Amino acid sequence: MHKLTKAPLALTGLGRCLITEKHLSAVNIIRRGVMCSENRTDCSKTEVYDVIISGGGMVGSAMACSLGMDPNLAGKKILLLEAGHKKVIDRVPDTYSTRVSSISPGSATLLSGIGAWEQVTRMRCKPYKRMQVWDACSDALITFDKEDLLDEMAYIVENDIVVAAITRQLDAMPENVQVKYKTKVVKYTWPMPHHAAESIPWVKVTLANGETLQTKLLIGADGPNSMVRQKLGIPTVKWNYDQSAVVAVLHLSEPTENNVAWQRFLPTGPIAMLPLSDTESSLVWSTSHHLAEELLELDEESFIDAINSAFWSNENQSDLIETAGALFRGALSAIMPSAGSPRQLPPSVAGIGPKSRVMFPLGVGHASEYIRHRVALIGDAAHRVHPLAGQGVNLGFGDVACLTHLLSQAAFNGKDLGAIQHLLEYETERQRHNLPMMTAIDLMKRLYSTNAAPAVLLRTFGLQATNMLPTLK
């Protein structure tokens, strides 16, 4: 260690005679760097960040923005690491991108709190007022809407637009909030438990370019195959559905006041049409791998026919089910005559956007622990759901709101941001919220995956009853 410092010191001495001060500081930096890389654990000049967020998707960047804007966290050093490139949208492209999300009002509130919602609405988003969900095997349907169709139920926004809006906000933040793009993490080093006094108590993050960063709190927002979660060895309950989702942008046959979201449960899986504009909608068709591949290979016309028939045809209904369904509906309307809503048919499709058919595999996952010492998982890294309820990103935004609030309180109480106490509170609160939702979604998916009469009857009755009872909805 001493030899290493003496040589550069001698060099610096010599250099001072010859080089200007500007170059000298460069030499100092190199010397410091050499010292640091040789003796990382002793390097007192390594910057210690307060929070490092790994993963700059919708949820990760929202977290960075949310922390940066919190008054109690003013001045804290926050860093966002994103492996991809910076998403900037100067001019919204004419074509829609295929990956869209349904943003709930709660998430919209979070986004407007960080100033990103305004950017989103200025760019492109589509509110919808009603959602009709119905069965292929029976006549049962359920519609969700806010009273009087005045308020929006939720918004369909392209994922890229959300990220670009948040990125714009991040650009405007003060220096303590930094983002590093095209940065890949290769290694995490976890700290020893806190009462081992000699070792460094912070989480160490090693980047692909060799840099090492230290942080008091690491937030893992790196998606369903989270490296943070894997490296921590957190047991995850997960399975792949034998399903893939086919997404596409659809051109409707005629312009319509496109403010209804449609979802029909086919035996092979749910097919959903989400409004993007008066003339275009987004398709999310979850079905078996085999069928999904077939769909991708169909030519455009056959693909459109398949979509239309999926929404319109009644071939899966049997007489038994129809009769039973009608009887039940009659009984219910005798008890509650005013409830229930008329069934509508979705708009027909005339064309699809160019090069817009894509498929991706579906699965579900839930990390048994969202937190560890100095680490927290948010978004898909902690929980991954089936898109049938459009809840995935909203759960993630819920995580962001909860964790920001708790970290803000902790900072106001002078606590170490990586302390386990408030992380435990975050985990408890979010698991209590997320687990029931995920279980319900999974149950729905399983219930609707079959043609068998008992299951169909059950869900028919259930759906109809729920449709008539506003409170359940």
Partner 1 sequence: MYSNKFGRLMFGLKGLKATSACGAFQRAAARSGFNWAAVCKQRTLWQQRSACAGMHQTGSAIHTTVDPGEVKRFQLLANKWWDEEGEFAALHAMNDLRVPFVRDNLLNAQRERHPGQPLAGLRILDVGCGGGLLSEPLGCLGATVSGIDPVEDSVRIAQQHAAHDPDLRDRVSYRACTLEELAGEGEAQLEPEPEQGVTQFDAVVASEVVEHLADLDTFAVCCSRVLKPGGSLFITTLNKTNLSYALAIVVAEQLLHIVPRGTHDWEKFISPVELERLLESNGFLVQSVQGMLYNPISGAWSWTNNTEINYALHVVKQDDKAEDGSTPPGGHNEVAHS
**Among candidate residues 406, 362, 401, 360, the one with its CA nearest the CA of residue 378:** 401
Please list every residue from 299 through 328 that binds partner 1, using CB under 8 A: none
- Total of chain residues touching partner 1, rule CB under 8 A: 24
Stretch that binds partner 1, among 192-200, 221-229, 290-298, 311-319 (CB under 8 A): 192-200
Phi first, then psi: what are they for 70, rounded to 5°?
-75, 130
Q: Is 412 in the site for partner 1 (CB under 8 A)?
A: yes
Reference 137, options 242, 270, 289; nearest CA is 270
User: How near is the Cβ of 462 to partner 1 at its closest, in Å?
Assistant: 40
Residue 194 near partner 1 by CB under 8 A: yes
Find tokens 């160019």 and name the residue.
354
* Calpha distance 392→380 (Å, rounded): 7
Q: How far is the CB of 110 from partner 1 (least distance, A)?
A: 21
Residue list 57-76, contact with partner 1 (CB under 8 A): 71-76
**Amino acid (one-letter) located at 35:** M
CA angle 302, 306, 312 (to 5 degrees): 140
Residue 75 or 233 having the CB closest to partner 1? 75
Retrieve residue 150's tokens.
């005045």
Which of 1, 18, 197, 334 touches partner 1 by CB under 8 A? 197
CB atoms within 10 A of CB 355: 10
* Paired residues of 359 in beta bridges: 246
Give the contact letters, 416-435, x = binds to partner 1 (CB under 8 A), - = no: x---x---------------
Among 364, 411, 438, 441, contact with partner 1 (rule: CB under 8 A): 411
Residue 245 near residue 360 (C-beta atoms within 8 A): yes
Which DSSP letter does residue 211 get?
-
Residue 412 C-beta: closest distance to partner 1, Å: 7
Cβ of residue 66: shortest distance to partner 1, in angstroms? 15
At position 441, the amino acid (one-letter code) is I
- From the CB of 245, what's the least distance to partner 1, in Å? 43
**Nearest distance from residue 59's CB to partner 1, in Å?**
24
Give CA separation, 313 vs 135, 137, 139, 218, 301, in Å.
Answer: 11, 10, 12, 51, 17
Residues making contact with partner 1 (CB under 8 A):
44, 47-48, 71-76, 194-195, 197-198, 200-202, 216, 411-416, 420
